Amino acid sequence: MLISTMEDDMAGVKIEQGTLTHRKTLRLKGLLGIGVAQAVGHLTMLWVWAANSTKDGSLAGMTPTEIAEVSGWAGEPADFLAAMIDAGYIDEAPDGFRLHDWAENTGQIEAEARREAARERQRRFKERKRAEKAAEAARAEASKVPAPQQKPLVVAPQPPQRTEPRTDPELARAGQFYLNNINPTPPRWELEDLTQAVAEFGADVVIHAMEIAQRNKAPNWKYTRGVLARYREKDVKDLAAAVDADKWTKEEARNGKAGRYDRQRDAVPATQDLAGFHTA
C-alpha cells in the first residue's frame, strides 16, 4: 500500500498489485467471510480516509463504529476491527489504534512525489516560456502590416447553461450503495455509467434497480443496466413509475412478450465525469 501527496494538500492512494494476493488480505477476507474485491474495497476506503485525515496513521480516539464507518463496513464494527487487527492491517497502541507501518509506507514515495511535482513545475515553466516567445513573435509580425479597420464587435447570444438534473449528494448516495452492494473496486466505465444513470433517473430509481439485481442473485452492473434499459423504454421518471414498470414487466413476462431484465442490451451513455464521490 502506497500513499502519495498531491496538489492542494489532497492525498491519493496507490494500491500495489501484490495487495490483492497478500497473505494479510487473504486472511482478512477469510475472517470477515467476504471476497478479495470487497476486502480490498474496505481497505481502500480506510486508506483514502486516512490519507486525507491523519498524518501518522493514528486512529486514536476513534471507536470501532467510526473505524468501520469510514471503511464502508456495514456489519458488526467490533468484528471488522478484530479482523483488521488479526490480519495485521491495524495495530493496537497505548493511545488507541494505529494503521500498521503507515509512516513507513507513506514515506517510501514522498521523495518521488516531490520529484514528480518538480518535474511538472519545470514542464509548465517551459510551456509558458514557449507561449511567451510565440506571442512576442506574433506581435512583431503584426506590427509590420497596417492594422485593419476594426469592425463593431457583435456578441452572439449565449445559449442558456445546461442545468444538471441531479445534485452531487444524489450521486454520492447511489455511489455508496453501488460500492457496498455491487462492486467495491469498479472500473471507470461503470462509474461513468452510474453517473449518467443518476442524472437520467435519479438516485432512488438507480438504487431500486440495483436492489432488483440483488434480489435476482445477480448483483452486478450488467444486470442493473438491463433493468434501467427497461425503465427507459417505459419512460420511467421516478421511483413510483419504476415500481409500476416492474409490475408491467412481470405481466409481460407471463404473457411471453418480454424476457428477463438481463436480456436488455441498451447501454447507459457514459458522457459525464464523476462529481459526487471519489475513487482511487
pLDDT in tens, 244-266: 888 866 666 566 554 454 444 34
pLDDT for residue 143: 80
Q: Closest Cα to residue 174, out of 243, 122, 93, 228?
A: 228
What is residue 30's predicted lDDT score, i.e. its pLDDT?
Answer: 93
Question: Residue 271: what pLDDT?
Answer: 38
pLDDT value at 72 more than 90: yes
Please indicate, yes or no, whether residues 31 and 102 belong to a single structural domain of this protein.
Answer: yes
Does residue 54 sit within a domain? yes
Tell me: do 93 and 180 sit in the same domain: no
- Which has the higher per-residue pLDDT, 146 or 174? 174
In a domain? residue 177 = yes
Number of domains within the chain: 2
Return d(Cα 183, Cα 224) in angstroms, integer.
12
- How is 149-190 classified by DSSP, letter by letter? PPPPP-PPPPPPPPPPSS-HHHHHHHHHHHHHHT-SS--HHH
Which residues 6+ apart lie within 8 Å of 86 measured at CB? Answer: 27, 31
What is residue 259's predicted lDDT score, i.e. its pLDDT? 47
Determine how many CB atoms are found less than 10 A away from the CB of residue 216: 13
In a domain, 58, yes or no: yes
- Give the model's confidence band at 116: pLDDT under 50 very low, under 70 low, under 90 confident, else very high: confident
Within a domain: 252: yes
Q: Is the pLDDT confidence value at 204 over 90?
A: yes
DSSP assignment, residue 58? B
pLDDT value at residue 3: 43
Residue 242, pLDDT above cutoff 50: yes
Q: What nine digits make up the cell of 132?
A: 511567451
pLDDT at 252: 63
First to last CA, the chain: 12
Residue 77 belongs to domain spanning: 2-107
Position 118 in a domain: no
User: Is residue 106 within 8 Å of residue 55, measured between CB atoms?
Assistant: no
What is the predicted pLDDT for the residue at 273? Answer: 45
Distance, CA of 183 to CA of 178 (rounded, Å) = 6
pLDDT band at 100 (very low <50, low <70, confident <90, very high): confident
The answer on 99 and 174 residing in a single domain is no
Mean pLDDT of 24-38: 92
What's the rounded Cα separation, in Å, for the pair 274 and 198? 11
- The answer to whether residue 250 sits within a structural domain is yes
Last residue of a domain, one of 58, 79, 107: 107
Average pLDDT of 154-169? 65
